[in-house]
Amino acid sequence: MLVNTVEMFKKAYAGKYAIGAFNVNNMELVQGIIEACIELRSPVILQASAGAIKYAGLTNIIALTKAAQEDSKKFIKGGLPIALNLDHGDSFESCKLCIDSGFTSIMIDASHYDFAKNVELTKKVVDYARRVGGKNPSKPKYISVEAELGRLAGIEDNIDVSEADSAFTDPREVSEFVKQTGVDSLAIAIGTSHGAFKFKGEPKLRYDILEQIQSLVPGFPLVLHGASSVPQKYLDIITKYGGDVSGARGVPEALLKKATSLGVSKINIDSDLRMAFTAGIREFTAQNPSNFDPRSYLKHAREYVKELVKDKILNVLGSDNKV
């Protein structure tokens, strides 16, 4: 059975580690991520964006996640704790559909609206989630809801949010937002951004904002989107085998570790998975030009995804041996 994120975040906050939330679009991504989590005994959130749902189909995303949880029972008693989260839900209807279909966690992203409208739409989703899943966070059918306050720069659902349109989270709004909406976790903007081209100058995060938010809502689960690091290894492989990702730059792992130590409970990673996957396919197909069996190159890509996720668990999240 899939779980919600409440228990995961409670334990993560107490243990000063973070839960990795990895974006999935196909079977190999799910398998690579879950194999890494089983091996290192790490709880995990798999998440699907609107684009992922459009690509793979809602039924497939849910079935793949449930199958992974079921398979994990061969290795871990009761199976791996896996939550399935809608990433950046952009309307009440898209959130409702995922709630009705079996997602255990929903993100409503109304961060591009003003405060009042963000509260209104977020609360509408929370109310619906409570109607379907009940109000008791310790019950398995409870559905967790994440919202966003502040606005990240970068690519979201193929829309480029310019730096001018991005905004750091205003700590003064946080308590009121949490109180008025009843959300379970909150994505904050402290300098990360979506996509693989994050910083032109020195990478910097606004820990002062994070610390202020922490002091205002101590223990409340905070989420960092746009947290890929763009590992050099995969950049080099992609470049070596004909790709062009020049200028790609992520958040250094040390900066993410510091954010975790300051109380961030969920770290979102998508771009790094794409890089690892693409590196695997480019490398395999370049080195084996006569092989045209998709299982061969997808297997190599899946291995790189697994390697990447293990690195995240050990060097960024600290979520190993928590199951």
In SS3 terms, 212-235 reads as HHHHHCCCCCEEECCCCCCCHHHH
Helix (H, G, I), strand (E, B) or coil at 24: coil
Site for Zn ion in 257-276 (CB under 5 A): 268
Angle (CA) 153-159-162 rounded to 5° is 35
**Which of 62, 269, 309, 313 touches ligand 13P by CB under 6 A?**
269
CB of 321 to ligand G3H, least distance (A): 28
Catalytic residue of the set 87, 90, 109, 311:
87
Give the pair of three-digit tokens for residue 123.
């609360």
**Which of 4, 5, 23, 104 touches ligand G3H by CB under 6 A?**
23
CA atoms within 13 A on the CB side of 317: 36
Q: Does 266 bind ligand G3H (CB under 6 A)?
A: no
Contacts of 67 (CB under 8 A, 6+ apart): none
Distances (CA, A) of 79 to 2, 44, 50, 246, 304: 9, 12, 27, 41, 23
Give the pair of three-digit tokens for residue 222.
């905070």
Q: Does 225 bind Zn ion (CB under 5 A)?
A: yes
**Which of 4, 5, 31, 49 touches ligand G3H by CB under 6 A?**
49
Q: Does 268 bind ligand 13P (CB under 6 A)?
A: yes
CB of 226 to ligand G3H, least distance (A): 7
**Which of 6, 28, 61, 88 touches ligand G3H by CB under 6 A?**
88
Q: Which does 322 bind (CB under 5 to 8 A by kind): ligand G3H, Zn ion, ligand 13P, none?
A: none
DSSP state of 73: G
Q: Does 265 bind ligand 13P (CB under 6 A)?
A: no
Which one, of 48, 50, 146, lies nearest residue 94 by Cα?
50
Is 260 or 271 the residue whose CB approaches ligand 13P more closely?
A: 271
Q: Which does 157 bind (CB under 5 to 8 A by kind): ligand G3H, ligand 13P, Zn ion, none?
A: ligand G3H
Query: Strands 193-194 and 264-269, how do they pair?
Result: unpaired
Q: Does 52 bind ligand G3H (CB under 6 A)?
A: yes
d(CA 93, CA 132): 14
| Residue 87 a catalytic site member | yes
Q: Does 123 bind Zn ion (CB under 5 A)?
A: no
Kindly write down the DSSP assignment for every residue of 99-115, as one continuous string.
HHHT-SEEEE--TTS-H
Q: Does 90 bind ligand G3H (CB under 6 A)?
A: no
Q: Which does 269 bind (CB under 5 to 8 A by kind): Zn ion, ligand 13P, ligand G3H, none?
A: ligand 13P
- Interface with ligand 13P (CB under 6 A), residue total 14
Which one, of 312, 292, 274, lies nearest residue 28 by Cα?
274
Site for ligand G3H in 202-241 (CB under 6 A): none
Contacts of 93 (CB under 8 A, 6+ apart): none
Q: Does 270 bind ligand G3H (CB under 6 A)?
A: yes
Question: Which of the ranges 31-39, 58-66, 141-149, 221-229 carries the binding residues for Zn ion, by CB under 5 A?
Answer: 221-229
CB of 88 to Zn ion, least distance (A): 6
128 touches 99 (CB < 8 A): yes
Strands across the sheet containing 153-156:
159-161, 153-156, 193-194
The site for ligand 13P (CB under 6 A) is made up of: 23, 87-88, 194-195, 225-228, 268-272
The site for ligand G3H (CB under 6 A) is made up of: 23, 49, 51-52, 87-88, 156-157, 194, 270
Residues that are catalytic: 87
